[in-house]
Amino acid sequence: MVLTRLSAVELAQKLRTKDVSAVEVVEAHLERIAAIDGVVADGDVWRAVPADELTSRDIHAYLHVTAAAAREHAADVDRRRAAGDDLGPLAGVPLALKDVLTMRGAPTTVGSRMLEGWLPPYDATVTERLRAADLVVLGKTNMDEFAMGSSTENSAYGPTRNPWDLGRVPGGSSGGSAAAVAGLMAPLSIGTDTGGSIRQPAALTGIVGAKPTYGTVSRYGLVAFASSLDQAGPFARTVEDAAHLQTLIHGHDPRDSTSITDTPADLLTTLRDGIDGLRIGVVTELQGDGYEPGVRRVFEQALERFERLGAKIVEVSLPHAGYGLPAYYLIAPSEASSNLARFDGVRYGLRVDAPTAEEMNAATRAAGFGPEVKRRIMIGTHALSSGYYDAYYLQASKVRTLIARDFASAFEQADVLVSPTSPTVAFGLGDKTADPLAMYLNDVATVPASLAGTPALSLPAGTAEAPDAPQATLPVGLQIMAPLLRDDLMYRVGWAFESDLGFTPIPAGDTAVEVA
């Protein structure tokens, strides 16, 4: 029995029956991380090796591995289980946290030099809830700096590699969290999604990733990128695992003023109800030109599968979806330019000394932020500056209303909407870094649901070749979008699809994964 291959639900079952201990489960994962991730496995908190010392065989999913704290927590779970305590459903199951969520006892870097070495003085609400449920945090995962990117190549600490092909990206910005789960270095992880940063990496690494309804998961302790869009959510290798994990983190939090008091219907009770008679809407605007032939073929097969399972396929339109990406690339940078003003060299992180406060601010920010973060701050500052606000941020926010209305109309004709998650399979490291706009186009199918706030999930739909590698076998993701607060429906549809497909979310034959 290879513990790292088991799902969270399978591990939880074996922990409950005491077939394995939480300590054994943690050790199995730490051993694998030490073998394939590129960490210095030494001391209480293991560090990733520096970017210029990473080899082409290091996946580099983790920035910091909280080995001692994980072992201690696991031992505590085992003690309490032995004493007959009532533990949560996933108690003792390990997981990884994107390095954008604060957790005491380890640095939170957000993939940036700006916060290198920062030790947060408090836990994010998500972290707190996971700990209360006795999930064991293995460490903090790599990400595009401040969650800005679609490949994890914008990390100041070096890129993460895709376990399916170490020459390719895992997607982003939550690429470390996705690669940790796809590479069997954690059964579960948490990512954050602003315009697709959970769904796109899930698609590119062949796993499940979900963006919950905006407002249902607390943003307290989540280092803000674009506050009106940021939402934390689960990664897992099965739909059921993802539903369990989302259940543990959602719910109202008075410490987040955008947190809503409603919670979606229970995600687990209807999970296995099937999709007979459900109407599945294919979005006209989210297919066709711009999507790779392999992605289109797998998507067509997915629609046939839905029909075989008893669902009715209907064509629906989101007339303003084409304006989603332009609106997103005004709204998100505008909010980022405002949020990132707090990195001024005074309260935390880097400071570059200079004679005056303003020079110190500007020198600190110039040294601490990488190129993509600077680009977005510049776009956002310009878009919010005097004379441009109405044409840019305000107009984009109105387009956002129209997109939300499009979704509401579409959901009168269909119970859920589907599309390919990403227009491409995983692309090569370095392929898109020279062209920022080409990188932005990765988000074309995921951004509309972000703007509407609706829940959306990506799950593996099969594999396809890459345009630059006809023999390659790379995962293709299917996106399922549901109405606001109907997260239960996207999991139910996803579970039915997954059960019928029988996809094995483990990259067979990959050298990295051969290390059991």
**Residues labelled as active-site residues:** 98, 173, 197
The span of 32-40, 178-186, 237-245, 449-457 binding other proteins (CB under 8 A) equals: 449-457
Residue selected from 245, 377, 414, 466 as contacting other proteins according to rule CB under 8 A: 377
Residues 163-192 that bind other proteins (CB under 8 A): none
CB nearer to other proteins: give 20 or 451: 451
Residues 87-146 that bind other proteins (CB under 8 A): 118-122
Contact flag: residue 404 with other proteins (CB under 8 A)? yes
What is the nearest approach in angstroms of other proteins to the Cβ of residue 366?
A: 4
What is the nearest approach in angstroms of other proteins to the Cβ of residue 343?
A: 10
Contact flag: residue 399 with other proteins (CB under 8 A)? yes
Q: Measure Cα distances from 137 to 51, 69, 89, 127, 178 in Å.
A: 23, 8, 16, 9, 15
Residue 81 CB: number of other CB atoms within 10 A?
19
Contact flag: residue 265 with other proteins (CB under 8 A)? no
What is the nearest approach in angstroms of other proteins to the Cβ of residue 322?
A: 8
Tokens of 114: 């700006």
Contact flag: residue 258 with other proteins (CB under 8 A)? yes
Long-range contacts, 294-297 (Cβ 8 Å, 24+): 294/425, 294/464, 294/465, 294/466, 294/476, 295/420, 295/422, 295/423, 295/424, 295/425, 295/464, 295/476, 296/420, 297/464
H helix intervals, 392-467: 395-413, 436-440, 447-452
Contact flag: residue 363 with other proteins (CB under 8 A)? yes
Angstrom distance (rounded) from CA 208 to CA 235: 6
What is the nearest approach in angstroms of other proteins to the Cβ of residue 361?
A: 4
Residue selected from 34, 313, 362, 469 as contacting other proteins according to rule CB under 8 A: 362
Q: Which residues contact 352 (CB under 8 A, 6 or more apart)?
A: 345, 360, 363, 364, 366, 367, 368
CB nearer to other proteins: give 5 or 351: 351
Binding-site size, other proteins (CB under 8 A): 73
The span of 168-176, 278-286, 306-314, 432-440 binding other proteins (CB under 8 A) equals: 432-440
Residues 296-355 that bind other proteins (CB under 8 A): 320, 323, 325-327, 329-330, 337, 341, 344-351, 353-355
Between helices 239-249 and 8-16, what is the axis angle to 10°? 80
* Residue 442 DSSP one-character state: G
Angstrom distance (rounded) from CA 197 to CA 292: 20
The span of 28-36, 95-103, 193-201, 399-407 binding other proteins (CB under 8 A) equals: 399-407
Angstrom distance (rounded) from CA 402 to CA 392: 15
Contact flag: residue 250 with other proteins (CB under 8 A)? no
What is the nearest approach in angstroms of other proteins to the Cβ of residue 376?
A: 9
Residue 102 CB: number of other CB atoms within 10 A?
26
x/- letters, 470..499, toward other proteins (CB under 8 A): --------------x---------------
Backbone angles phi, psi at 62, to 5 degrees: -105, 140
Question: Do 421 and 478 form a contact (C-beta atoms < 8 A)?
Answer: yes
